[in-house]
Chains A and B, each alone.
Chain A
Amino acid sequence: MKNSIKEEKESVTILFAGDSGDGIQLTGSEFTNTAAAYGNDISTFPNFPAEIRAPQGTLAGVSGFQLHFGSVELFTPGDNCDVLVVMNAAALKANLKQLKPNGTIIANTDGFDSKNLRLSKYPEGVNPLTDHSLDKFKLIQLDITKLNRECLKESGLGTKDMDRSKNMFVLGLIYWMYNRELDKTINFLKEKFKKSPELIDANVKTLKSGFHYGETSEVFTSNYEVKAAQLPAGNYRNIMGNQATAIGLIAAAQKSGLELFYGSYPITPASDILHELSKHKNFNIKTFQAEDEIAAICSAIGASFGGSFGVTASSGPGIALKGEALGLALMLELPLLVINVQRGGPSTGLPTKTEQADLFQALYGRNGESPLPVIAASSPSDCFEAVFEACRISIEHMIPVIFLSDGYIANGAEPWKFPQTKDIKAIVPPFIDASDVDKENFKPYKRDEKLSRPWAIPGTKGLEHRIGGLEKENETGNISYDPDNHEFMVKLREEKVQRIANYIPLQKIDSGNDSGKLLVIGWGSTYGAIKTAVHELKNEGIEVSHLHLRYLNPLPKNLEQLLNNFENILIPEMNNGQLLQILRAAYLKDAKGLNKIKGLPFTVDEIKVKIREMLNTNE
């Protein structure tokens, strides 16, 4: 065995790319789990093609999984990668611009035959592996298909089945490069192929030979050590955003003692919440795949009327369909949670790409004057706490709440210092104590200091009442077309939302000083990129602060005061400046926007450049 040199690295970004049939997502998530369990901090960014099975070998069919792992705290999947693993020519072409100068390319030469080159639109006769165009990188060429077939030649499997496991060869190789153990993945394979032992054998064998190949071949001169990260003490697991959202919902149901009813209609990237919840029916959860988004929200309203906690989720186009029912829920003043896992563009837009352009839709996308609380999560693990907060507000204030996530955090993963049940605070549903009311004069819309009404559910004797979407007289809930009453009710509903500000924490600065030259304000999934940019600049001695909003309506009470402490405000958003307009209108502040509308998250660099520009600091 050759003695390789061990090098230590603070953090590494690997981008796995290949055809959508190459098992890229699985390879990436296995490496993620292994790195996370080892104690690295991680951040991932899966990037799917829009078509389920785009034509093989084409640029449209490239699937990618970017993974950033390190011995330091990480908040983004990395702007550029150190290692680019490409299974074919299209994967190289689509991702080469992501590779750092001097970065390593591991290329499967079998994916660079004339057909693959043609499909990925390289000019006739050009092969990037041989034309020296990659000379500034470390290029490692392996015929992975052949190596893999060689190692499985006695397995008895057909060529097709053999080829399917070649991603494990790559994974084994990368495990060797970064000194990782194989056991997590071996256990995973045993579980996954429980029903076909021959596939367990083949995949495990391939994984191991990839590892051994790294060890014995001369292709790598060194392997790398990325030590465990110094994260705050505690118990950790790896979590994706949609999963954290689902678990947050279950926790809210348990902590409020309510049965969870989840009515939903499949849509990317929200469907995984439905999939996850459907697995946990033993938590007394009812999941309902409705015939459309309208039925989904309406079924959730019906469930809440009956005394359960109704939840529905969708993405932008589906939320558009739910608009009318959301207005009804607002008039009924029942608890209801509406989750929007945002994706790109109007109409069907960019279904597999991320954006945060539904903030206006969440705030204003209904007829009449119809304010609702809006809460946004900032990272995969933050989905848990943020959705729990959204549930708490909805239930305790008897009001529908909109929870915003997006494709980037929904599918991304990071380590999560998960809480214990006993440390999660209870949610108190305002059920009415029937023995305590004057039944003759029961008023379904009588309000408390939160301006919220009591929850009297069918089956409660003596409190029979009717509710509906027509304008109602305050307290009695009787239909009223009285002009003064309507104006009063519109203002009352607005005030009810605003009063929620008394029941949420004051806004804190996330990093940096409480006052200064420049404050960067973010909301949602731009968190990691902004935080990293601000950190890096601060390390260079540049004064800049970061504030991240979780509560978008109502805004925290001290926000205006915080803004007044800064000379300039920058708001990076993956939209055309929605929060920017809101804050400008609310506080008459001349904030500046940094807008990226490409279906892609911000890179740290993009934010740094803008901050520098605003502070006039040259590199």
Chain B
Amino acid sequence: MNNTSENIKEKQLSAKDFATDQDVRWCPGCGDYSILKQVQSILPEIGVKREDVVFISGIGCSSRFPYYMNTYGMHSIHGRATAIASGLKATRPDLSVWIITGDGDALSIGGNHFIHLLRRNFNVNILLFNNEIYGLTKGQYSPTSPKGQITKSTPMGSLDHPFNPLAVSLGAEGTFIARSMDRDPKHLREILLRANNHKGTSLVEIYQNCNVFNDGAFEVFTEKGTKADETIFIEQAQPLIFGQNKDKGIKLDGFKPVVVNLNQESANDLWVHDETDRVKAAMLVRFFSDQTQTERLPRPFGVFYREERYSYEEALAAQTMDALNKKGKGDLDSLLAGKNTWSIR
């Protein structure tokens, strides 16, 4: 979205102005609260009028989100928020449209619409709350649950190979692909702002802790003791460095990313992040290895990939203009009559 300067701010709104009078009904301690807070806090900054903001969600715990936003909103049906947002954005390019969805909502039932929204590149923002579980239906495994996960529907462990949401998004020709987490509000905030500024579909996967059915799923990425070694924050033009003492880096050995110890090797050979490099983005999204493996890579957070490409609604509006220019404004009487008429007296 880039509705910045043109919209004159009438009164400086605050995060509070974006909250509704409805009780927020997520479980205490749910990661959704933190995401709600960050979204409410960036909206006054992006310079879009409150009446021009629309939140559309599917079904799931996360999809209750629109009720808590004092903007226009629709809590729709399972998996279809992306399709509804497509029609809205196609006809109302002027609106700032945000899609709120979960891992089950976006990637299971809504998988089809999800990939098609990305390839069409409507200028909307998708916030995919990934908690690797079905929350609202009380704890079945989701398409992002790791293999072997014990849940209510998989007492002997899930057999499904997990989906990699960012690889799917990249494969679906997404033009802005990013990851953040509920427990890192500063980072989340920054990514949300960048998503808003991107013209085209912005996909932000947000690791969200479901403390009731899948507590600690992302603990290694969020807890003090492990975070530094298990995560890597990727930034444009910066080398891939991580670790407790910033002493580890990632280097490309041919097409194979390897972890190097910076106490032994020079930082000059490290992989430097380039958000516009599709080939490298494809490798980065693949830093998704099984956490039980020993030779594992850290999980990246940040903007993996971005690309400038025309948005669907822009092209659609241009076609309408084109038709108008070529044929002139439609005349109903000549349409009704068609080309061959005759009269009977």
Contact = CB atoms under 8 A, between A and B. Distances in A.
Given A263-B87, A301-B87, A306-B92, A286 B320 contact: yes
Interface in A270-304: 280-286, 288, 290-292, 294-295, 298-304
Interface in A435-463: 458-463
A103 B178 CA distance: 73
Contacts of B84: 298-299, 301-302, 305
B336 A419 contact: yes
B83 A295 contact: yes
Contact of A328 (B76, B88, B328, B337): B76
A284 B77 contact: no
Interface stretch (B34-42, B46-54, B154-162, B227-235): B46-54
Most buried by A among B85, B92, B327, B336: B336
Interface in A220-261: 228, 230-239, 247, 250-251, 254, 259, 261
A421 B336 contact: yes
B62 interface: no
Interface of B: 20, 22, 49-52, 54-56, 66-67, 69-77, 80, 83-92, 94-95, 112-113, 116, 316, 319-320, 322-324, 326-330, 332-333, 335-338, 340-345
B74 A37 contact: no
A172 interface: no
Given A421-B333, A466-B75, A479-B67, A232 B320 contact: no
Contacts of A263: 87
Contacts of A259: 91
A460 B49 CA distance: 10
A280 B330 contact: yes
Contact of B335 (A283, A300, A458): A283
A280 B88 contact: no
Contact of A295 (B69, B86, B332): B86
Given A261-B87, A303-B88, A306-B92, A247 B336 contact: yes
B86 A283 contact: no
Size category of the A interface is 35 or more
Given A325-B80, A458-B51, A465-B72, A282 B92 contact: no
A464 B51 contact: yes
A140 B223 CA distance: 91
Contact of A418 (B49, B92, B113, B336): B336
Most buried by A among B322, B323, B326, B327: B323
Contacts of B338: 237-239, 418
Interface in A295-350: 295, 298-308, 310, 324-325, 327-328, 332
A238 B330 contact: no
Interface stretch (A199-207, A467-475, A544-552): A467-475
A231 B335 contact: no
Given A286-B90, A295-B83, A464 B72 contact: yes
Nearest to A306: B92
B70 A464 contact: yes
Interface of A: 33, 36-39, 184, 228, 230-239, 247, 250-251, 254, 259, 261, 263, 280-286, 288, 290-292, 294-295, 298-308, 310, 324-325, 327-328, 332, 418-421, 458-470, 478-479
Contact of B87 (A299, A461, A479): A299
A236 B344 contact: yes
B146 to A, nearest CB: 29
A305 B72 CA distance: 10
Given A239-B338, A308-B91, A291 B67 contact: no
A282 B328 contact: yes
A468 B75 contact: yes
